[in-house]
């Protein structure tokens, strides 16, 4: 065997190992990171006193139509996660948090000042329903920044220690 043949062979083998490592991390670790992130955000919301309408009992005060819609589509305070693989950049991105429609959750996080006399001069100016933000997203981000690196390292080592063949499942639609 010539030197060029050996280097070509090693390159093929190492390229296959790199692909398997990346696929194992995508299959095992990215999904768990998203799940843990969504759970942490939900736990911080509960710790700050933000609960779903079904948990507080106010869901039953809604009309039947609104109750049916809430049962079908879920709460605006639900958390979701998604693992997005971007082949152009050769990376996986994990998204976790409230849905884009969850404006109530964002208001509870950031706070608001809501009044119909906004920015008007007069005796009622400056009054209103000020609500201080709960900042549960920032707290969840702090917790995750401490916990995720150790979790990723542990999960990746567990995934790579198993001798399993990973195959890509491509879904259409």
Q: Per residue of the chain (173 residues), what is the pLDDT tens digit?
A: 555 577 777 777 777 777 777 777 777 788 888 899 999 999 999 999 888 888 888 889 989 998 998 888 888 788 888 888 887 877 778 888 887 667 778 778 888 766 554 455 555 555 556 677 889 999 999 999 999 888 888 877 776 676 555 555 555 54
Residue 153 C-alpha from the chain's centroid: 19
Helix (H, G, I), strand (E, B) or coil at 72: helix
What is the reported pLDDT for 130?
64
> Judging by beta carbons within 10 Å of its beta carbon (0-12, 13-18, 19+), is residue 162 exposed, middle or buried?
exposed
Contacts of residue 54, Cβ cutoff 8 Å, sequence gap at least 6 = 70, 75
Token pair 């998203």 in the structure block, residue:
34
> Judging by beta carbons within 10 Å of its beta carbon (0-12, 13-18, 19+), is residue 112 exposed, middle or buried?
middle
What is the reported pLDDT for 40?
93
> What phi and psi values does residue 92 have, to the nearest 5 degrees?
-110, 135
pTM of this structure: 0.68
Q: Which helix (H) or strand (E) holds 9?
A: helix 3-24
What is the reported pLDDT for 170?
52
Residue 97's nearest CA partner among 141, 49, 132 is 141
What is the reported pLDDT for 50?
87
Cβ atoms of 94 and 37 closer than 8 Å: yes
> Judging by beta carbons within 10 Å of its beta carbon (0-12, 13-18, 19+), is residue 34 exposed, middle or buried?
buried
> How many Å from the N-terminal Cα to the C-terminal Cα in the chain?
48
What is the reported pLDDT for 114?
64
Pull the structure tokens for residue 159: 């995934």
> What phi and psi values does residue 129 have, to the nearest 5 degrees?
-95, 80
Residue 104's nearest CA partner among 128, 141, 140, 131 is 131
């Amino acid at each position: 065997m010539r030197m060029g043949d050996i280097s070509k062979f090693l390159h093929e083998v190492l390229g296959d190992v790199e692909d398997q490592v990346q696929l194992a991390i995508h299959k095992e670790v990215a999904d768990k990171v998203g799940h843990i992130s969504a759970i942490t955000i939900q736990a911080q919301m509960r710790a700050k006193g933000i609960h779903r309408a079904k948990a507080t009992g106010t869901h039953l005060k809604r009309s039947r139509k609104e109750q049916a819609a809430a049962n079908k589509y879920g709460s605006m305070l639900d958390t979701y996660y998604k693992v997005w693989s971007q082949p152009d950049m050769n990376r996986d991105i994990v998204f976790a948090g409230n849905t884009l429609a969850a404006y109530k959750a964002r208001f509870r996080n950031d706070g608001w000042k809501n009044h119909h006399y906004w920015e008007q001069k007069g005796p009622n100016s400056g009054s209103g329903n000020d609500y201080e933000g709960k900042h549960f997203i920032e707290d969840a981000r702090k917790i995750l920044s401490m916990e995720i690196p150790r979790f990723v390292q542990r999960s990746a080592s567990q995934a790579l220690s198993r001798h399993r063949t990973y195959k890509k499942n491509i879904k259409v639609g």
